[in-house]
Chain A
Amino acid sequence: MRGTDLKPRIERFNAAERVAHWMVAICFLYSAFSGLSLWSHRFYWMAAVLGGGETVRAWHPIGGAMFAAALGVLFVKWARQMVLDRDDLAWLAVGHRYAMHEEEGVPESGRFNAGQKVLFWVQTAGALMLLVSGVVLWFPQAMPRALRLAAVFVHPLAAVVSLGAIIVHIYMSTLVVPGALRAMTKGWVRPGWAKAHHGKWYREVAGK
């Protein structure tokens, strides 16, 4: 329904991508908060919010597994697009300028900028580590002790990295880049937005 908005739009994420992303997001958030409730006794109140410790113990691994599965879908969809090219490396080298909104010397980005691509790979690696270590922690009695010993360290380590990265992602997508959230909710952006944030991609889709 475009209603009365007759300004031009460009489709940024199709429905399947959006669904997958939000599946990932919901599972991630659930896993993150349920996981955080067990991270420190000071966060244990979150467990109460989520139905109590036993519920958290039972469902956190399921939420985690669902997160991994949903991320798998996104991975299939996006992995090729997430390969870093030479421009991306150049972009990363001047990432601090990007952060200060300086445009000079920051190479134009494709559909995903280098930061997003790094996030993708960080989350993919993190999820893999979380999944493997999580399965070990899910069934402690069935696992050899050495694996469990590794898992108790790997799991929170990966979670820290993953959570750190997600804080940046959420901040960027909601507050730093107006319009980015809409791209993931409604699926479209304005051409000006595309040109400004993803110049290379804009030219591709605009055929210029």
Chain B
Amino acid sequence: MKQTVAKLIDTTLCIGCKACEVACQEWNDQEFSQGVFHNSYQTMPDLAAHFWNLIKFHEVEKPAGPVWLMAKYQCMHCADAGCLRACPAPGAIIQRENGIIDFVEENCIGCGYCITGCPFDVPRLSPRTNKVYKCSLCSDRVAVGLSPACIKACPTSCLTFGSRADLKFLAEKRAEELRAEGFSAAGVYDGPGVGGTNVLYVLKYADEPELYGLPKDPKIPWTVRLWKGPLKWVGNTIFFGGILAAIVHYLKVGPKEAHEDD
């Protein structure tokens, strides 16, 4: 069993320099586009099919004064991945042994179910290729022992890469430090609703993750669970049961003959 890898984002060390964004674009050979002004330093309003790593900027008023929160947003590589659950195409989304959720372009059929299944609203459909894309945690780099491009580029060590267990420990320790410094709400964001995420965040205001653009209580949507769970069984029962019932009926009762010529 390979170790589960993870990325730790210590938002208290993020300076919004966007080095991770450029590194991601360069390593993944993305096309560069031009932005549209939207009253923010943020590169674009949201993730895009050709932009997998976006620092979100939030101006927040706190009692102690203004706060400008910056947090990198990308695929969270959930242990229980909504995209994977929702995906109808075998092999299009895979969970690697090291925990990375990878989209395999050639197997993707572009249905977009993963977009709906994702509690973090991460995957994006490219209108050009009609396939869905997202951060791969640089699975190609990780496979050969390198750290993901964003981690490599980060100048402040806001980003760290390693085994999930180690990083979880570090994150909790850092949160403790922050609490000791007086940030009583500091904590680790680890998406318990999706069995933990392999992208961990240290937040000063962990009680309000939505300030950072993170969902408060991420869960795989219940409609997706219902669809992929009970409904599937009900459906299969109806399909196979229906056919079986017809055979039984035919054998037991047979056709209803009419005297045609009367």
How far, in Å, is A160 (CB) from chain B's closest CB?
Answer: 4
A197–B249 Cα distance when bound, in Å, is 19
Residue of B nearest to A191 (CB): B262
Contact A141 B115 (CB under 8 A): yes
Contact A179 B258 (CB under 8 A): yes
B261 touches A137 (CB 8 A): no
Interface assignment of A44: CB less than 8 Å from any CB of chain B:
yes
Q: How far is the CB of A131 from chain B (nearest CB, A)?
A: 17
Residues A54 and B258 in contact, CB atoms below 8 Å apart: no
B259 pairs with A145, CB closer than 8 A: no
Give 1 or 0 for each of B210-240: 1 = CB within 8 Å of chain A CB.
0000000000010110110001101110110
Tell me which residues across on chain B come within 8 A of A178, comparing CB atoms.
255-258
Size class of A's contact patch?
Answer: 35 or more
Q: Are B223 and A153 neighbours in the complex by a CB distance under 8 Å?
A: yes
**Other-chain contact of B242, A153, A168, A176 (Cβ < 8 Å):** A168
CB within 8 Å for A192 and B259 given contacts A99-B253, A163-B239: yes
Interface residues of B in 79-95 (CB under 8 A from A): 86, 88-90, 92
Most A CB contacts (10 A, CB to CB) among B88, B113, B223, B236 go to: B88
Are A57 and B227 in contact, with the CB atoms below 8 A? no
Given A160-B231, A171-B246, A193-B260, A176 contacting B255 (CB threshold 8 A):
yes
Which of B88, B231, B260 interacts with A157 by CB under 8 Å?
Answer: B231
Nearest 7 CB-CB pairings of A with B: A140-B112, A192-B262, A196-B258, A53-B109, A38-B88, A167-B242, A153-B223
A residues near B, CB below 8 A? 7-8, 37-41, 44, 47, 53-54, 56-58, 99-101, 137, 140-141, 145, 148-153, 156-157, 159-160, 163-164, 167-168, 171, 175-179, 190-193, 195-197
Q: Which residues of B contact A (CB under 8 A)?
A: 86, 88-90, 92, 107, 109-113, 115-117, 121, 124-125, 127, 130, 221, 223-224, 226-227, 231-232, 234-236, 238-239, 242-243, 246, 249-250, 253-262
